[in-house]
Chains A and B, each alone.
Chain A
Amino acid sequence: MPEAASGGPVGGLWTVVLRRARTQLPLLAAVLAALVTGATLLGTCALLATTAQRQVLVTDMATTSVGDVAATVRVVLPDPERAAADAADTDPGAVLATVSAAVEAALAPADPVVSAWLASVPLRLGNDPVDSAPRRAYLLDADDVEQHAQLVSGRWPTAATGAAPVREVALPAAAAAGLRLAVGDALTLTVESEHVVVDVLVVGVFSPALGDASWARDVFRGAGVGTSDLIATYGPLVVAPGTLVASGVPIDQINVTGTPDLSVSDAAGLARIDAALAGLPAELDGTFGKDGPQVVVQTPLRADYARARTEQGVTASGIAVVALLGGVLAVTTLILAVRLLLERRAAETALLLARGADRRRLAGPAAGEAALLALVASALSVPAALGTYRLLARVPRLADAGLAGVGPTGVLLAVAIVGAAAPATMLVVPVLRRGDGPPRSTRRAAVLARSGADLVLVGVAVLAYLQLRGHTVTTGAGLDPVLVAAPPAVLLAASVVALRVLPVLTGLGERRARGSRGLVTALAAWHTSRRPHVVSGAFLLVLATAAGTAALSVAATWTDSQRDQADAQIGADLVVTPSGAVDPLAQGPSLASLTGSLPAPVTSRSVLLGTHVSDDAEGPTRLLALDTSRADELLRGRLPSGASWSAVTAGLAADVAPGGPLLPQGGVVDLVVTGSAADGTPLSATPTLVVQDSTGVRVPVTGPPVALDGAPHEVRVDLGAGHPVDGDLRLVAFELSLDVAATDPGGDLPFSTRVTAEVEVLGAHLDDDDPLGAAGTWTAAAGTGDGVFSEVQATQAATSTGVVLRTEATVVLVLLAYSADDGLVALAFPLVGDVPVVVTDDLADQLGLTTGSRVGAMLDGVPVSFVVTASVPYLPSMPRGAALLADSDVLSRALLGQHGLQPLTDAWWVPDPPDPRGAATAVTSAQVGTATLREARADELVAGPLRAPLRAVVLVLVLAALVLALAGTAARVAAELDGRSVEVARMRGMGVPRAGVVRALLLEHGAVTFAAVLTGAVVGALSAWLVGPLLAVSSEGRPAVPPATFRWPWPAEAGLLGALLVGAVAVVVPLTLTAVRRATSAHLRMGVAP
């Protein structure tokens, strides 16, 4: 033995250390395995939190649609005569160059394509030859308009050559129709203030690409016609690119758009772009000065980037949770392995100390051993972490997110080194601790102290849980401390408390053993319940099982919640926002044909309630209206109470369907209008028919005016062109808009007159069970308060050629001339008083609403009264904020009753299409509108690029838990069996058969393992039940709507628990067989003195 006491050769001590290491190789291997696994887990988490986040951010941003990433700078040039601006600030060419350079520089990391649209001031055209109304047009110089429009006829303009004064133009089809121009026509435009005359020649007619976001740069967004200063204005008249500036025509607006290719940028580049765009307005303002051009920068890119970064912040917190849990597991494994090692070395340490060795001298070799282990662990964990990351990157849905293998990074190296070195110090600390162990009197104190520590841990966990319940995740890209700390605290505390249960279970086994006859079961029960460190040794298995099962359950809960959130956000299986390319009455049949499912028209817009100005951060109060008789079919989104949407919306729909004649098939309705004033006052009437199709959509279609001169006038009302309309069209309301004909210049108008009008709808017929009954009485819409119409009567009756609608009313002619509401409206249904609505809890709280409360509202300028029938946490498609849900039929009736004839359809909801993705594609290709799929949103929330690191880290935690649990079990069982070799030999010496000894040991370890795994599963389930739903936040870090519900994925959990049990068997059985085989009579010489 080396003379350590005299400070003898250190080399002697190192020799002991090396020889000791050889004999204790299995235990040292367990320590190394714990260090490597822990450092690998932390290193993988570091890669997921850094490299992966950067990779998926680029993938996510690169998949964003072009319209959502383009940055547009809109410049309005100052009037050079009035502004005291520099000449450069008024020169369009110079301004264009400055702004283009700034946009290109801001988007430089993403290879932007920069395009410019320059629009002239409105130029005067000759008056309309038909009605002599003034007209204007404007020119547009756009360098990429050909990419955003299709030629209908002719060609695109080219630059004028030589001294030719005529400028070639192409114009939108709507403008061509309005101006009655065709290819080859010429016209003259005049800039009045400049006395500039521009002669143009039409060389082409085009149709703007529907839904193309580029047309947002156009004054009329590609519509072709609008009003400017109350004057009909047509355009754009597109000139050859690059020719407008030199033409001398004053330029009103310059739009410079930069479209970045985000797929070529990296995360750092995205950050630079975001910063540059943030500073662009100030930069341009600084360049131009206060009297210079007005600059507005519009880009959804910054909001999209901020949204992605916020989502990454939530993900980062999730990764940190796993890292913390994994770290706890690794440290627990290490504590177990180190304890076993130190127990094994206790005798030799005591001997060395008894021989006079100084603790500090003993700490030297221990530190060296720890350093060597840390070095090896670090060296192994770096490639292990990289390998794990590469494996994760090969998982199909993770690879789609952009994960790709990488080389070692600085963060990985730092984490691996610290992750291995810090825990390795546990090998040194016990050596420095004084004493061979606590004396008997302090062991009771230690037990008490442990109990106190348990209570403190439980207290911390309870506090953390309560914090988490009322918490909203910190927005931004940083870690949320509550989200990170709470789950591990709860899991750790629950595991510690659950260990208290194990002795109860083992105690039951012992009682059973007392009354048994055999030896094997009794031996197993006694050893399980009485041997020291059985409970503490099982802690790792409990914690690892709890961590693994909780991770799987939280992941399943989270996945379900994301799908629920997608349901709530979208509201229906397929939502189509009409593009305007298809006539309103043709939209329903088109969608039915394209999707294979009957769509429903939906109202979704803001509404003003009384004088209430919403102070909700979620924005103004919103109104949702649809056919509530199809609520369960249409509405998606789980209600926390478990109620169905049909139950919630019961009572919103009208009891009786509207009456009215069914119109003939085809795209036109032929009317015969006959009417007159009783006193012969010359009046004209413009008929507007409110037509309803089988989907419930109601569309006003207006015919030309006819004279009410007593003679029948034939009128054709076009129901819409381009697509065949559904056959089942019903006339549910009509308006006769009266006007005094200017035929009596010298006469005085009488105060009032009785007007009679008949509108015969040719080819129409009445239902046998028409709700209006035999009398066929229609309802007059309520007056607007102007008192124009009174004593209104309206009826319907079948004729041999159709259905005639007969109306009579007393008209106050004096008011008719001044009233904005000059229409006599008749309805094929009773008037609606209060519209029943379901409100959100937010709205109910804001206004103090309860069932039966009434609230007035203005919807597109029409007053309507609501009465509350129920409140719900949220409405489909409106997951947050103040909102109301009404039946679309009842709402429409209420509005029509107040002369509100405007269409209410903002979207179409399509329930359960047979092929959702195919339906969405078909809708988009047919340019019916923009299709939003609930399924696609769910996929994005569950498996989108930004979610990939979170899904990956759950996999890593489950694997790490499995590895650490089995490694810890192997170390514990091996050390324990090694320490019981004498005991095994004694049992063999007493005549216990080898098989009996093996059975007893397997039963003992099996019972502990099974109890620990079962306990861990219960702890995992309880922890996941408590915190899982709270962790399933939205992508912005807010509480989920609807609230998440706990899910226990039985197949996955059974797989994990099975793997743990099978793995434990695979570890314990060979170790036991080996230990029993090695216990010979030589061990009988090795007794432990009491």
Chain B
Amino acid sequence: MSTDVRPLVAVREVRRTFGSGAAAVHALRGVTVDVRGGELLALVGRSGSGKTTLLNVVGGLDRPDSGSVTIGDTEVTELDEAGLTRLRREQVAFIFQTFGLLPALTAAENVGVPLRLRRLPVADREHRVELLLDLVGLAGHADQRPDELSGGQQQRVAVARALAASPRLLIADEPTGQLDSETGLAVMALIRALVEAEGMTAIVATHDPVMIALADRAVHLVDGRLTDA
């Protein structure tokens, strides 16, 4: 585990509200949290607590109404649309509960998407894809499409794709939400192993106690507020 003192991710007083007036939903109410480099942080909370909103704000998929988010030296909340796109392409990778694979592409082609965005030479790209699929234990499933893979296999492809661009920060939103406990444990263990081996930083939203136990630290989000910082 990295012992870098300065946090990789710094979230300061982030607020996000959806809607207005009486129907306004205050998803985040002044959230402040740091995530150290190399840390696996579990973001715990019930459905509707604001976990996904916080992850989206950190990852640049959404903009807060106020507050700031910094990843390394990059002030995420100050980036424009192109900057956010570049952030997601180069520094941040997402893993979704619904796997997020492109259904028309094979496992290898899905993993290769971030590498095509970087316009890697074809041979280098194919080599890296092969390594990543082997890393997640899916070397023999490269030409299968998502509808031909199990849930666990799809999520492992999503993990491989997330690693393809060597991101600094891995954001996973309920990555085991649609998996059985055994498969979910395997995926979580994979993420744990990758964080340790690659020195990545990961924020994982979950409410599964087994998953929480694998994390370095857990923070609780209740009604848009962190109860443990």
7 more CB-based (< 8 A) A-B contacts, given A517-B120, A992-B113: A519-B113, A986-B96, A989-B61, A1081-B56, A1086-B98, A1088-B103, A1090-B147
- Could you tell me if B52 and A518 are in contact, using CB atoms closer than 8 angstroms? no
Answer yes or no: B117 CB below 8 A from chain A CBs.
yes
Shortest distance from the beta carbon of A245 to any chain B beta carbon, whole Å = 98
- Could you tell me if A989 and B81 are in contact, using CB atoms closer than 8 angstroms? no
* Interface residue ranges of B130-188 to A (CB < 8 Å): 146-147, 149, 151, 154, 161, 165, 178
Report the nearest B residue to A530, measured CB to CB: B104
- Could you tell me if A517 and B100 are in contact, using CB atoms closer than 8 angstroms? no
Report the nearest A residue to B102, measured CB to CB: A983
Shortest distance from the beta carbon of B14 to any chain A beta carbon, whole Å = 15
Docked CA distance A1089–B117 (Å): 26
- Could you tell me if A1085 and B52 are in contact, using CB atoms closer than 8 angstroms? yes
Answer yes or no: B196 CB below 8 A from chain A CBs.
no
Docked CA distance A1081–B56 (Å): 8
Proximity string of chain B (59-100) to chain A, C-beta cutoff 8 Å, 1 when within and 0 when not: 001100000000000000000011001111110001011111
Query: When A and B form their complex, which 6 residue pairs have the shortest distance between CB atoms, in order from nearest?
Result: A1087-B98, A991-B89, A991-B88, A519-B116, A1081-B61, A530-B104
A-B contact pairs, 9 of them (CB 8 A): A517-B119, A517-B120, A986-B100, A988-B88, A989-B100, A991-B88, A991-B114, A1087-B100, A1090-B154
Q: Specify which chain B residues have a CB less than 8 angstroms from the CB of A1084 in the assembled complex.
A: 56, 61, 96, 100
- Could you tell me if A1087 and B117 are in contact, using CB atoms closer than 8 angstroms? no
With A983-B103, A1090-B151, A1090-B154 as given contacts, are A994 and B94 in contact (CB-CB < 8 Å)?
no
Docked CA distance A526–B113 (Å): 12
Answer yes or no: B121 CB below 8 A from chain A CBs.
yes
Answer yes or no: B105 CB below 8 A from chain A CBs.
yes
- Could you tell me if A522 and B52 are in contact, using CB atoms closer than 8 angstroms? no
- Could you tell me if A526 and B109 are in contact, using CB atoms closer than 8 angstroms? yes
Answer yes or no: A852 CB below 8 A from chain B CBs.
no
Answer yes or no: A22 CB below 8 A from chain B CBs.
no
Shortest distance from the beta carbon of A507 to any chain B beta carbon, whole Å = 14
- Could you tell me if B119 and A991 are in contact, using CB atoms closer than 8 angstroms? no
Docked CA distance A1060–B114 (Å): 36
- A519, A530, A989, A993: which contacts B94 (Cβ < 8 A)? A989
Report the nearest B residue to A1085, measured CB to CB: B52
Q: Specify which chain B residues have a CB less than 8 angstroms from the CB of A526 in the assembled complex.
A: 104-105, 109
- B56, B119, B122: which contacts A515 (Cβ < 8 A)? B122
Q: Specify which chain A residues have a CB less than 8 angstroms from the CB of B109 in the assembled complex.
A: 522, 526
Answer yes or no: A163 CB below 8 A from chain B CBs.
no
Answer yes or no: A531 CB below 8 A from chain B CBs.
yes
Docked CA distance A326–B73 (Å): 64
Proximity string of chain A (133-145) to chain B, C-beta cutoff 8 Å, 1 when within and 0 when not: 0000000000000
- A517, A530, A983, A994: which contacts B116 (Cβ < 8 A)? A517
- Could you tell me if A991 and B90 are in contact, using CB atoms closer than 8 angstroms? yes
- Could you tell me if B82 and A522 are in contact, using CB atoms closer than 8 angstroms? no
Report the nearest A residue to B86, measured CB to CB: A991
Interface size class of B (residues with CB under 8 A): 35 or more
Q: Specify which chain A residues have a CB less than 8 angstroms from the CB of B85 in the assembled complex.
A: 988, 991-994
Q: Specify which chain B residues have a CB less than 8 angstroms from the CB of A1090 in the assembled complex.
A: 99, 146-147, 149, 151, 154
Docked CA distance A438–B147 (Å): 17
With A1081-B56, A1081-B61, A1090-B154 as given contacts, are A987 and B102 in contact (CB-CB < 8 Å)?
yes
- A519, A991, A994, A1089: which contacts B98 (Cβ < 8 A)? A1089
- Could you tell me if A990 and B104 are in contact, using CB atoms closer than 8 angstroms? no
Q: Specify which chain B residues have a CB less than 8 angstroms from the CB of A989 in the assembled complex.
A: 61, 88, 94, 96, 100
With A990-B114, A990-B117, A994-B85 as given contacts, are A1087 and B99 in contact (CB-CB < 8 Å)?
yes
Residue among A986, A1089, A1090 having the largest count of chain B Cβ atoms under 10 Å:
A1090
Q: Specify which chain A residues have a CB less than 8 angstroms from the CB of B101 in the assembled complex.
A: 986
Report the nearest B residue to A1088, measured CB to CB: B98
Q: Specify which chain A residues have a CB less than 8 angstroms from the CB of B178 in the assembled complex.
A: 1089
Answer yes or no: A527 CB below 8 A from chain B CBs.
yes
Proximity string of chain B (12-55) to chain A, C-beta cutoff 8 Å, 1 when within and 0 when not: 00000000000000000000000000000000000000001000
- B62, B99, B165: which contacts A1081 (Cβ < 8 A)? B62
Report the nearest B residue to A517, measured CB to CB: B119
Q: Specify which chain A residues have a CB less than 8 angstroms from the CB of B102 in the assembled complex.
A: 523, 983, 986-987
Docked CA distance A989–B147 (Å): 21
Docked CA distance A1086–B97 (Å): 10
Docked CA distance A303–B122 (Å): 79
Docked CA distance A527–B104 (Å): 6
- B62, B105, B114, B119: which contacts A518 (Cβ < 8 A)? B119
Report the nearest B residue to A529, measured CB to CB: B104
- A517, A994, A1087: which contacts B81 (Cβ < 8 A)? A994
Proximity string of chain A (1021-1035) to chain B, C-beta cutoff 8 Å, 1 when within and 0 when not: 000000000000000
Docked CA distance A526–B103 (Å): 10
Shortest distance from the beta carbon of B48 to any chain A beta carbon, whole Å = 12
Shortest distance from the beta carbon of B29 to any chain A beta carbon, whole Å = 19
Q: Specify which chain B residues have a CB less than 8 angstroms from the CB of A1089 in the assembled complex.
A: 98, 178
Q: Specify which chain B residues have a CB less than 8 angstroms from the CB of A1081 in the assembled complex.
A: 56, 61-62
Shortest distance from the beta carbon of B173 to any chain A beta carbon, whole Å = 8
Docked CA distance A983–B81 (Å): 19
* Interface residue ranges of A959-994 to B (CB < 8 Å): 983, 986-994
Docked CA distance A1085–B62 (Å): 13
* Interface residue ranges of A982-1016 to B (CB < 8 Å): 983, 986-994
Q: Specify which chain B residues have a CB less than 8 angstroms from the CB of A523 in the assembled complex.
A: 102
- Could you tell me if B147 and A517 are in contact, using CB atoms closer than 8 angstroms? no
Shortest distance from the beta carbon of A978 to any chain B beta carbon, whole Å = 15
* Interface residue ranges of A497-556 to B (CB < 8 Å): 515-519, 522-523, 526-527, 530-531
Docked CA distance A1087–B117 (Å): 23
Q: Specify which chain A residues have a CB less than 8 angstroms from the CB of B56 in the assembled complex.
A: 1081, 1084
Docked CA distance A400–B195 (Å): 84
With A531-B104, A989-B61, A989-B100 as given contacts, are A517 and B121 in contact (CB-CB < 8 Å)?
yes
Docked CA distance A986–B94 (Å): 9
- Could you tell me if B116 and A990 are in contact, using CB atoms closer than 8 angstroms? no
Shortest distance from the beta carbon of A470 to any chain B beta carbon, whole Å = 49
Report the nearest B residue to A989, measured CB to CB: B94
Q: Specify which chain A residues have a CB less than 8 angstroms from the CB of B61 in the assembled complex.
A: 989, 1081, 1084
* Interface residue ranges of A393-418 to B (CB < 8 Å): none
Q: Specify which chain B residues have a CB less than 8 angstroms from the CB of A515 in the assembled complex.
A: 122
Q: Specify which chain A residues have a CB less than 8 angstroms from the CB of B161 in the assembled complex.
A: 990
Report the nearest A residue to B82, measured CB to CB: A993
Residue among B62, B100, B121, B122 having the largest count of chain A Cβ atoms under 10 Å:
B100
Shortest distance from the beta carbon of B43 to any chain A beta carbon, whole Å = 16
- B87, B96, B147: which contacts A1087 (Cβ < 8 A)? B96
Report the nearest A residue to B61, measured CB to CB: A1081
Q: Specify which chain A residues have a CB less than 8 angstroms from the CB of B82 in the assembled complex.
A: 993
- Could you tell me if B121 and A990 are in contact, using CB atoms closer than 8 angstroms? no
Docked CA distance A615–B210 (Å): 103
Docked CA distance A150–B161 (Å): 104
Proximity string of chain A (594-623) to chain B, C-beta cutoff 8 Å, 1 when within and 0 when not: 000000000000000000000000000000
Docked CA distance A989–B56 (Å): 10
Docked CA distance A881–B96 (Å): 83
Report the nearest A residue to B84, measured CB to CB: A991
Shortest distance from the beta carbon of A956 to any chain B beta carbon, whole Å = 40
Docked CA distance A1084–B205 (Å): 15
Q: Specify which chain B residues have a CB less than 8 angstroms from the CB of A518 in the assembled complex.
A: 116, 119
Q: Specify which chain A residues have a CB less than 8 angstroms from the CB of B100 in the assembled complex.
A: 986, 989, 1084, 1087
